[in-house]
């Protein structure tokens, strides 16, 4: 599955809520999300519109590794 090209940082934060992530803090134009499912995990997302493809790919790869699934499985679950 192809990565969405028009996803903003706030849209990604909303989508990641389905995996148990919640906003823990914001510094400038970046937000930090934390989940306690499968252990504690933090991810920082820039509030840019749209997110760069490489940035989005790195964030999703990090989340997928935390949950022990492939990036494709994560994309199918989120989008």
Asked if 50 contacts 5 with a C-beta cutoff of 8 angstroms, the reply is yes
* pLDDT band at 72; cut points 50, 70, 90: very high
18 in helix, strand or coil?
helix
Alpha helices in the chain (DSSP H): 9-16, 53-67, 71-78
Domain annotation for the chain: domains and CATH numbers: 9-74 (3.30.920.30)
CB neighbours of 14 closer than 8 A, spacing ≥ 6? none
| β partners of residue 30 | 27, 46
* Span 1-45, pLDDT tens digits: 899 999 999 999 999 999 999 999 999 999 999 999 999 999 999
């Amino acid at each position: 599955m192809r990565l969405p090209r028009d996803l903003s940082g706030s849209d990604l934060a909303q989508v990641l809520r389905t995996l148990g992530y919640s906003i823990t803090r914001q510094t400038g134009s970046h937000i930090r999300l934390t989940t306690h499912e499968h252990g504690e995990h933090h991810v920082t997302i820039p509030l840019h519109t749209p997110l760069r493809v490489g940035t989005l790919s790195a964030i999703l790869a990090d989340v997928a590794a935390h949950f022990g699934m492939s990036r494709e499985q994560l994309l199918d679950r989120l989008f």
